[in-house]
Structures are given as structure tokens and as C-alpha cells.
Structure 1
Amino acid sequence: MSATANKSSQTRKTVQLVLIAVAALVLAGNFVLQSLGDDVAPAEGAEGSAIAALETLKVQDPATEDGYDREADFGSAWQDADDNGCDTRNDMLQRDLEDIVLTVGDTCQVASGTLDDPYTGETIAFERGEDSGDVQIDHVVALMNGWTTGAADWDRDTRIEFANDPLNLIASDGPANMGKGAKDASEWLPDNQAYRCEYVARQIAVKAKYELWVTPAEHDAMEDVLTSCPAEPLPAS
């Protein structure tokens, strides 16, 4: 074989080896990308997750606050909405506090207890009396927020149900609740970062249950929180 033919044969072999190596790298890259997709993508839209439910909510600007009247529209605080003989505030205190002591001779009224506050992460001693306001019952989706995102179109009975729904209520630190006011997730989140995913998930659950919408800023804030916990489940109603 001539030197020229031998050189040509070696060149072809080299090209073939390079092509084989490139093909192997492409296949390996596709396998890695597919594996990453299998691990990550389903979690973001997993059935029953808060982030999946978020994408089902209508997104639009808030309606006007005109006409809002807390007591006239949502009923007085607090009612015995479920007819169990106990008002909603005491129902929630009994649900959320530990070491509960009831008022003597009363099967409903909470006299004292301990709250592991989800908003601050602090432990609060509750005692009925002058300092009762240290523990308040927060509307996770504030009534005003509900009003401007769909509740203005409801009948009064539905608004009263919304205002007393345990899904939308949580015992919390009084000052934290006051600081939140009627703010949505784009304006306020709990100082306790460990609770933010659960907090946003509960807001989404409430809005999904009552077909309330979210504002663009609210949607983005919720999505931002849930990117760190894409598998956070939607609380049961």
C-alpha cells in the first residue's frame, strides 16, 4: 500500500472515531437532560400541589373597594356559623392552641392556652382578659382582599361562610396580624420563613375553593415562594 493510501485510511479512521465520540456525547447529554427533567418537572405541576392549583386561578387586577363594609357584608365577628354552640373564634383557639384550659362551667370559651405562632415562630401564652388580643384569629385571605377579588359579587350568606371558614382562619400573633391587615402575598409574608410555603398554599386553597382571582403581582409573589417548595400540597378544605 502506498504512503498516500495509508495516510487516507488513517484519516478515515480518525474521522470515524471522532464521529463516534461526538455521538456518544450527544446521547449522554440527552440522557442527563431527560433524567433532570424526570426529577424536576413533575414536581412543579404535580397533581394536588399548591403551585399546580395556582395556575388554575384567574389573574386580573383588583376590583374597587367601593361599598365594602365588614359587618354589613361579612357579618359580625364572631358567629356560630356551624351551629355547634361555640363561636368561630373559640373554635379556632381550641383547634390551634395547646394546653387549653376552658372557662369553668363553659364547654366553649378558651380561658388559656399556648400558641406556637406560625407567623413569627414564637411561642405565645394566651390568657383571656386584658391581653386576649395577643392572640388573634387571622383571615388568611383578608376579607377586604376577598371583596376586591370576587366576593363583592356574592350573596351575604356566602360571604359569612367565607368569613367563618376554618380553611381561611388561623390563630396568630396579634401584632403580626395587625401588620398584615388586608395585604396580599405581594405585600406581606410571615416573618417566619419556614411557614411561607404553607401560608401561600392555604391562600391558594381558599381562593380556589371560592373562585376568587389573584392579581398579577400576587400571582408572581405566590409563584416565587412556591419555587422553593414545588411539592407543597394544597390544604384540604
Structure 2
Amino acid sequence: MKSYTLLPGFLLLALTAAIPVPEPTPPNIPSSSSASTLLTNLIVAPQGPQDGYSRDLFPHWVTIQGECNTRETVLKRDGVSVQTSSTCAATSGSWYSPYDGKTWTLASDLDIDHVVPLSNAWKSGAAAWTTDRRRQFANDLANPQLIAVTDELNQAKGDQGPEEWQPPRTSYRCTYARMWIKVKSAYALTVTASEKSSLNGMLATC
């Protein structure tokens, strides 16, 4: 935003820059070299069938503390100056979506992305898990599995893997790959050959 102040004999141009909202950093993101090693150790296998899959088999969002569920906890973690109601709903704040570089001030404009989608996990090994294990995966705050992003972008991603979908903000693809690899490694999920190739290509941008 530009503002002008008139002084005797001068026109003073003052540039007032908006204070940038910090980029959210989910926990436990490995370095690119560590991610490369983790990727090498992942089992490469074709995806299993979608048969029997339902999002209800991955209970979310669960209560984390008091009135706050997982979604509300991530919104608080990833936002700036977030204010909440007595029921923990975000009433104000700012959120920067690193997938597309957009900033939002309404919590309703954000989705909490499962970096490794629930459906992808199901076809990569989670079909054999217990409900408790799937609940842990769907609400994981210890690994880089959850992040607040532009809702429409999250919906466009759907259950696609990195061989089909990558953040449109290319400078974030390195981080996205490191997050994806960490989650797959933490839960001993498999990767397909094309998925691994795409992840290696994304790490090459680091």
C-alpha cells in the first residue's frame, strides 16, 4: 500500500509493506539428505486395492485437549495471532498457505491437509492396521502429516500422490517431498515406482 505525505517543496513517497505471515512449519521434517536416505529404505510396491476404504475408518478430528480437536489445534499452530472462542473455534488470525503462497484471515478458507492422504495410506498398507493406528495417523501432530492450506487447493489434491499432484508453488515442493517421505517412513507405508521417482525429482530441487 502506498501513502503520500506532502512536505514543503517535496513529495515524500512512503511505502508501507504488509507484515508477512510466517510460513508454517509442521514438526519433524527431515533434511533433504535424511529424506533421501529414508526414501531409499521405503519398500517399493504397487498400490493395493481401494476395496473397503472409508474415511470413517480413520477417525478424525479427535479431541486433543479441552474443547480443542485436531483441526483447531493445527489452525492455532499454523496461524498468527489466532484468537479462539470458548469452544476453541478460531475467530480471527492469519494463515499462510505454503502450497500456493496465499494468506487467509478466515478459518473457513482453510482445510487441514493430510499430507499423505488417507486413501493413499489405505492402499499403501493402512488397510491392515487397527482402528487405533488409523486414528493416530489421521490426527498425527508429531510428524509432518497435517498442515493448514487453502481449502480449494486441498480439495483439488484429493487423494493423489506426488506422481499426480504437487504444490503449485514450486519452491515448496522440496519441503512437501520431505514431509511426504517422513510420514511414509514413520508408518512403514509403501511407495510405488512412479511415486518414488517423483519424490526423487522433488528432492533434486532442494
The normalised TM-score by structure 2 is 0.80
Moved over 6 A (4+): none
Secondary structure at the counterpart of residue 95 of structure 2: strand
Cα deviation code 1:65-100 (max 9, x no counterpart): 0000111x111x3111x4554100000000001121
User: How far apart, in 2, do the equivalents of 1:84 and 1:218 lie?
Assistant: 39
Higher normalized strand content (fraction of residues): 2
Could you tell me which of 17, 25, 47 is aligned with 1:62? 47
Q: Aligned in 2, Cα 1:47/1:186: closer, same or farther, shift over 3 Å?
A: closer
Equivalence for 2:93: 113
Cα deviation code 1:159-199 (max 9, x no counterpart): 00000002211000001000000000000000111111111
Equivalence for 2:158: 181
Equivalence for 1:153: 128
Q: State the one-letter code of the partner of 1:195.
A: Y
Q: RMSD over aligned Cα, in angstroms? A: 1.6
Q: Are residue 89 (structure 1) and residue 74 (structure 2) matched?
A: no
User: How far apart, in 1, do the equivalents of 2:37 and 2:155 lie?
Assistant: 30
User: How far apart, in 2, do the equivalents of 1:224 and 1:169 lie?
Assistant: 23
User: How far apart, in 1, do the equivalents of 2:124 and 2:106 lie?
Assistant: 33
Q: How does 1:165-180 map to 2 (within 5 A)?
A: 165-166=140-141, 167=143, 168-180=145-157
Stretches of structure 1 that go unaligned for 5 or more consecutive residues are 1-45, 230-237
Stretches of structure 2 that go unaligned for 5 or more consecutive residues are 1-30
Count of residues in Structure 1 that have an aligned counterpart in Structure 2: 174
* Range with greater deviation from structure 2 (220-229 or 173-182): 220-229
User: How far apart, in 1, do the equivalents of 2:93 and 2:78 lie?
Assistant: 9
* Range with greater deviation from structure 2 (48-57 or 59-68): 48-57
User: How far apart, in 2, do the equivalents of 1:181 and 1:157 lie?
Assistant: 23
Could you tell me which of 63, 71, 74 is aligned with 2:58? 74
Secondary structure at the counterpart of residue 186 of structure 1: coil
Equivalence for 2:37: 52
Cα deviation code 1:26-70 (max 9, x no counterpart): xxxxxxxxxxxxxxxxxxxx8962111110100011000000011
Equivalence for 1:197: 174
Q: State the one-letter code of the partner of 2:74.
A: M
8 Å CA contact 2:32–2:178 kept in 1: the answer is: no
User: How far apart, in 2, do the equivalents of 1:117 and 1:47 lie?
Assistant: 21
Higher normalized helix content (fraction of residues): 1
User: How far apart, in 2, do the equivalents of 1:56 and 1:47 lie?
Assistant: 14
Q: State the one-letter code of the partner of 2:128.
A: D
Equivalence for 2:105: 125
Secondary structure at the counterpart of residue 55 of structure 1: helix
The normalised TM-score by structure 1 is 0.70
User: How far apart, in 2, do the equivalents of 1:121 and 1:155 lie?
Assistant: 37
Equivalence for 2:190: 213
Q: State the one-letter code of the partner of 1:94.
A: K
Q: Percentage identity across aligned positions?
A: 39
Larger Rg: 1
Q: State the one-letter code of the partner of 1:144.
A: S
Q: Are residue 222 (structure 1) and residue 199 (structure 2) matched?
A: yes
